[in-house]
Amino acid sequence: MEINLVSDTVTKPTPEMLEYMFKAEVGDDVYKQDPSINALQRMVANVFGMEDALFFPSGTMANQTAIKLHTQPGDQLIADKYAHVFNFEGGGVSFNSGVSCKLLEGDRGMITAAQVESAINNPEFYHSPKTSLVCVENTTNMGGGACYDLNELKKIRQVCDNHNLKFHLDGARLWNALVAKRENPKEYGQTFHTISVCLSKGLGAPVGSLLVSDAATIERALRIRKILGGGMRQAGYLAAGGIYALQHHVGRLAEDHRRAKELAQILAQLPFIRKVEPVETNILIFEIDSRIGEQAFIEKLKQKNIHISGLGQGKLRIVTHLDYREVMHSYVVEALQKLTF
């Protein structure tokens, strides 16, 4: 039994999802004639109470499109130092949009309205880049799946409005935050100018993200997606996986959260674990004693067919997901309890 806890992107479609995808009605989405794509876009837009949505092959492309929509070359965006748009999108902020990033020291990947306010460049001071966009990530990947307080997000939006800035949410794991905090997605739709959401992480679909916004913005996004090479033809087979995931896999995210918290409790009791960061959703980050080292810990688990990832500097990460079943969880709990060095 191989147990992959490296990421929640490793999941495979369930047999039921595959059957649903196999039966999907499809057309040519470049001509906007794929009924499954159109249905998914309407569904996700309705979830957030926004006017329209656009399907993308990846979350990176959706985020990069949003940045391109809201900025001009030479501008600057504000984000936390852990931000996915800065660290894990191949330098696309500068390559695609000619934009620089002002990175803030947040709390587990989360920044505050006061920090944003203080980071905005004076638009009259032409020696500095023009601040035009604020990007936040919920949940935070490198912050260990931490969830923003919605009221703080609303305060950031007010700062953005006061300074004529746009506000984008990288919501790759927003579904996890919505379940964990029992929040209304329509409040997010009212708070952000654009939101990207992913279908291929916690929800278990094989491919796809969507960008959600007002109709005029999505019409502009369509052109940018084309430029970036994101136009696909009979993509409705992929959309069907997303539709099935939204209908069947959102509520069960709570199971992933429970298992991650239970693993955190076990790790906190082990003498060679130096620190376990707070767990709110499905990502667990912890630190190993430097005398052991992260690679030794990874190898020890690999011998038991348990795979996790190292983050460097003694930090390791476990991510629970759809394919991590209860029988696997029991095995991992027992393996951790018996682990010795």
Tell me how long the chain is: 341
pLDDT at 341 over 90: no
Tens digits of residue pLDDT in 264-281: 999 999 999 999 999 999
Higher pLDDT pick, 192 / 292: 192
Residue 340 and residue 15 in contact, taking contact as beta carbons nearer than 8 Å:
no
Residue 316 and residue 297 in contact, taking contact as beta carbons nearer than 8 Å:
yes
Q: Taking all residues of the chain, what is their mean pLDDT, rounded to a whole number?
A: 97
71 in a domain, yes or no?
Answer: yes
Q: What is the pLDDT of residue 1?
A: 87
* Domain identity same for 291 and 219: no
Strands lying side by side in the sheet with 52-56: 52-56, 209-213, 194-198, 166-171, 131-137, 76-80, 100-104
197 three-state secondary structure:
strand
pLDDT above 70 covers what percent of the chain? 100
CATH number for the domain including 189?
3.40.640.10
* Domain identity same for 56 and 81: yes
Tens digits of residue pLDDT in 111-142: 999 999 999 999 999 999 999 999 999 999 99
5 in a domain, yes or no?
Answer: no
Quick count: other Cβ atoms within 10 Å of Cβ 149? 12
CATH number for the domain including 286?
3.90.1150.10
CA geometry: angle 116, 117, 123, nearest 5 deg:
110
Q: What is the pLDDT of residue 290?
A: 86
Tell which of 214, 248, 282 closes a domain: 248
* Domain identity same for 257 and 237: no
* Domain identity same for 280 and 216: no
* Domain identity same for 32 and 142: yes
3 in a domain, yes or no?
Answer: no
pLDDT at 218 over 90: yes
Element (H, E) at 103: strand 100-104
1 in a domain, yes or no?
Answer: no
Tens digits of residue pLDDT in 51-71: 999 999 999 999 999 999 999
* Domain identity same for 182 and 258: no
Residue 79 confidence class, pLDDT cut points 50, 70, 90:
very high
* Domain identity same for 87 and 224: yes
pLDDT at 97 over 90: yes
pLDDT at 293 over 90: no
Those residues with Cβ within 8 angstroms of residue 27's Cβ, 6 or more apart along the chain or in another chain: 33, 34, 35, 234, 236
29 in a domain, yes or no?
Answer: yes
Q: Which two tokens stand for residue 15?
A: 């047999």
Q: What is the pLDDT of residue 330?
A: 97
Q: Which two tokens stand for residue 110?
A: 């989360």
* Domain identity same for 185 and 309: no
167 in a domain, yes or no?
Answer: yes
4 in a domain, yes or no?
Answer: no
Q: Calculate mean pLDDT across residues 86-103.
A: 97
* Domain identity same for 230 and 260: no
pLDDT at 168 over 90: yes
* Domain identity same for 123 and 266: no
Threshold 0.95, pTM exceeds? yes
DSSP string, 122-188: PTT-TTSPPEEEEEEESSBTTTTSB---HHHHHHHHHHHHHTT-EEEEEETTHHHHHHHHT--HHHH
Q: How many structural domains does the chain have?
A: 2
Q: Calculate mean pLDDT across residues 78-89.
A: 98
* Domain identity same for 177 and 192: yes
Tell which of 224, 248, 272 closes a domain: 248
Q: Which domain range does residue 23 map to?
A: 15-248
* Domain identity same for 267 and 328: yes
268 three-state secondary structure:
helix
> Can you tell me the distance from the alpha carbon of 259 to that of 10, in angstroms, rounded to the nearest whole number?
17
pLDDT at 292 over 90: no
329 in a domain, yes or no?
Answer: yes
Tell which of 213, 233, 248 closes a domain: 248
Tens digits of residue pLDDT in 222-236: 999 999 999 999 999
